[in-house]
Amino acid sequence: MKQPEGKPEGKQEFFSSRWALIIATIGIAVGTGNIWRFSRVVAQNGGGSFLIPWVIFLLIWSVPLIIAEFAIGKSTRYGPVGAISKTAGNKFGWMGAFVVLVSTAIMFYYSVVTGWCLRYFFSAVSGGLFDTQQHFEYWQSFSSGYLPLLFHFISIALVSIVIYRGVTQGIEKVTRLLVPSLLIILLILFVRAITLPDAIEGIKYFFTPKLEIILDYKVWLNALTQNAWDTGAGWGLILTYATYMRQKEDISLNAALIGFGNNSVSIIAGITIFSTVFALSSVDAMQQISQSGPANTGLTFIYLPLLFAKLSTSSLVNGFFASIFFLALFFAATTSLLSMVELSTRTLIDFGLKRRKAIIIVAAAGFVFGIPSALNMNFFSNQDWVWGVGLILSGAFISFSIIKFGVNKFRTEIINGYGSDVKIGKWYNYVIGVLVPIQAVFLISWWLISSISWDPEWWNPFHAENLGTCLLQWGIAIFVFILLNKKIVDNTLRN
Amino acid sequence: MNITIIITAAFVLGLVWGGLVFFLIRALKYEKKKLMNGEE
């Protein structure tokens, strides 16, 4: 029985320590989804009733998949294409290509989101954000103009410079600065929020369980979706960073730290938002937290600025808290965007390109293909829908590659192999071999079937969010990748 | 405060924050052990 045969280590760069690896990977997991999507989904799904399944899926979806990604990346030393080819067999390299496409397509519009956060940070610092009471109009005027394009360019350019500098001089140095800063800012906001009068009402709602809601299957599927989207498990991003972990590095303990660390941050952000909204809202607080707004931005870009203005009588204090909130969002988005750009760059490096050439191509493509999302909110929503659900398919492909390799062999020889501090028991075989595929099938089916119910023309591929557009875009991608499978795999493994 | 809220909060925070602290302590322990063994 052999391990998947990886590349010789040669000039490979490595994260300098366990902590550098953990901080960088926490940076992947903690993104804007922890801050704005988590609070909204908790509000829409009955507060504490949602948190119970959310914690359970952390254990049976996120952590097992993070372990899988660490193990595949560490053992093969390839990005997703080479890694899945080495693990599942060369016939399945197209699955790795799909994983790369999904994360790359997300990178195109996530750079736009990063730009929004940066723009709002500048608005808060300059005081411009508080010059108006009409935040919906403020947002509309910003998002319908050309400024998102400028900030999208700044975001992709900044991140590309970091990736060009490599793993230790780029990713490691920047995440060592941004991730702790993000956590400190979140803690400052957390302390301020929970000390507001009536904040306790928000905290009570956050932890209130209702039996009838817990028994609703939709709450469970939403909890699974939140874990799939906000931990970064199954995206191929952690797999890519794992190619830079040293051979003697542990897998399972590090994976647990990432999963639990990510969800801990979500709880801090959730309590902060609920406390703030319940303390300062003069209208129905729940309605405000639950609303999606355009591209799910309602709470963050439209409602929270209103609340920041009510925080105190001093505009300086209000401006300070609003500024650090949007700075935290920008840091969270940047550290996740870094990993998406690195994944695409690493894939091209595996194809035989030098890092410099690879990052120029990725940065140019990132900017050009992000333009439609920067200028058109419908296009943005379409991409968010198609590749958001596509991520679950990516997770299923990673799980499939382990099943194809042999779940028990994977656990005993790779996860529990050289460098492991903690040995994983047989439970892992059942979780990754049975539970993860079942969850993936349920989740994809549920989202696609739901999309039929919310769009009468569910088959029309030119609608923003329905079954037709998903099947068309996935279908084209998978068809092309299967057709070019041999070429893609040969080019990757030859180099 | 309602007892069910306290139980839910204890379950969620105990598992998530408690889990994080537990794994952090274990990781620190292993790193310390490696340092004492003269590993990098």
Summarised one tens digit per residue, pLDDT across range A113-130 is 999 999 999 999 998 888
Q: What's the pLDDT at B20? A: 97
Residue A79 pLDDT level (bands cut at 50, 70, 90): very high
Find which of A260, A418, A422 to mutate to test the B interface (most B CBs within 10 Å of its CB). A260
Mean pLDDT of the region A419-444? 94
A107 pLDDT more than 90: yes
| % pLDDT > 90, chain A | 70
B3 touches chain A (CB under 8 A): no
Q: Which residues contact A175 (CB under 8 A, 6 or more apart)?
A: A20, A23, A24, A27, A335, A338
Query: Closest to A264 (Cβ–Cβ): which among B6, B20, B39?
Result: B20
How many cross-chain Cβ pairs, A to B, lie less than 8 Å apart? 64
pLDDT in tens, chain B (40 residues): 689 999 999 999 999 999 999 999 999 999 999 888 876 5
Q: What is the DSSP string of A378-420?
A: HHHHHHHHHHHHHHHHHHHHHHHHHHHH-HHHIIIIIITSTT-
pTM: 0.93
**Closest residue to A264, CB basis, from B4, B16, B31:** B16
pLDDT digits (tens, 9 = 90+) for A364-421: 999 999 999 999 989 999 999 999 999 999 999 999 999 999 999 999 999 999 989 9
Please report, in angstroms and rounded to a whole number, the separation of the first and last CA atoms in chain A: 25
Whether A32 shows a pLDDT value over 90: the answer reads no
pLDDT at position A295? 57
Q: Return the number of other C-beta atoms located less than 10 Å from residue A315's C-beta.
A: 12
What pLDDT does residue A289 have?
72
Per-residue CA distances from A293 to A37, A140, A146, A287, A303 (Å): 12, 11, 20, 12, 10
What is the predicted pLDDT for the residue at A25? Answer: 96
pLDDT band at A490 (very low <50, low <70, confident <90, very high): very high
Q: What is the pLDDT of residue A16?
A: 93
The confidence band for A469, taking pLDDT boundaries of 50, 70 and 90, is very high
The type of residue at A82 is G
3-class DSSP state of A197: coil
Mean pLDDT of A341-346: 98
Helix intervals (H) in A34-172: 38-44, 48-57, 63-76, 80-88, 93-126, 135-143, 147-164
Q: Is the pLDDT of residue A81 over 50?
A: yes
User: Is the pLDDT higher at A310 or at A149?
Assistant: A149
Specify the pLDDT at position A1. Answer: 39
What distance in Å separates the CA atoms of residue A127 and residue A105, rounded to the nearest whole number?
34
> Quick one: pLDDT at residue A7?
53
Is residue A185 within 8 Å of A30, Cβ to Cβ?
Answer: no
Q: Which of B1, B2, B5 to mutate to test the interface with A (most CBs of A within 10 A)?
A: B5
pLDDT of residue A280: 84
Q: In sequence order, what are the residues at sequence separation of 6 or more whose Cβ sits closer than 8 angstroms to the Cβ of residue A128?
A: A122
From residue A396, how far is each of A96, A147, A341, A390, A451 by CA, in Å?
A: 11, 38, 22, 10, 20
CB contact under 8 A, B27 and A254: yes
A96 pLDDT tier (thresholds 50, 70, 90): very high
B27 touches chain A (CB under 8 A): yes
Quote the CA–CA distance of A385 and A448 in Å, as a whole number: 10
Residue A351 binned pLDDT confidence (cut-offs 50, 70, 90): very high
Token pair belonging to A465: 């969010």
Residue for token pair 């799980």: A399
- pLDDT-derived band at A5 (thresholds 50, 70, 90) equals low
Are A285 and A277 in contact by the 8 Å Cβ rule? The answer is yes
Q: Chain A interface, mutation test: which of B1, B2, B23, B35, most A Cβ atoms within 10 Å?
A: B23
Q: Which residues of A fall within a CB distance of 8 Å from B13? A: 267
Contact residues, chain A to chain B, C-beta under 8 Å: 18, 22, 48, 51-52, 55, 58, 204, 207-209, 248, 250, 253-254, 256-257, 260-261, 263-264, 267, 421-422
Contact predicate A38/A45, CB 8 Å: no
What length does chain B have? Answer: 40
On the question of pLDDT at A18 being above 80, the answer is yes
A359 against A420, higher pLDDT: A359
A52 contacts in chain B (CB < 8 Å): 8, 11-12
Amino acid A300: pLDDT:
80
Q: Is the pLDDT of residue A51 over 80?
A: yes
- Could you report the per-residue pLDDT of A188-218, keeping only the tens digit for each? 999 999 999 989 999 998 999 988 888 888 8
Q: Which residues of chain B neighbour A422 with C-beta distances below 8 Å? A: 26
Mean pLDDT (chain A, rounded): 91
Q: How many CA atoms lie within 13 A of A220 on its CB side?
A: 14
Q: Do A48 and B2 touch (CB under 8 A)?
A: no
User: Rounded to the nearest 10 degrees, how much is the dihedral formed by the CA atoms of A20, A21, A27, A33?
Assistant: -150
Question: Token digits for A163?
Answer: 């990736």
DSSP string, A225-293: HHHHHHS-TTSSHHHHHHTTS-TT--SHHHHHHHHHHHHHHHHHHHHHHHHHHHHH-SS-HHHHHH---
Q: Once rounded to an integer, what is the mean pLDDT over residues A172-184?
A: 96
Q: How far is CA A192 from CA A151, A241, A278, A307, A320, in A?
A: 30, 35, 13, 13, 12
pLDDT at A42 over 50: yes
pLDDT of A23 > 60? The answer is yes
pLDDT of residue A283: 65
Predicted pLDDT of residue B1: 65
pLDDT at residue A116 in the model = 94
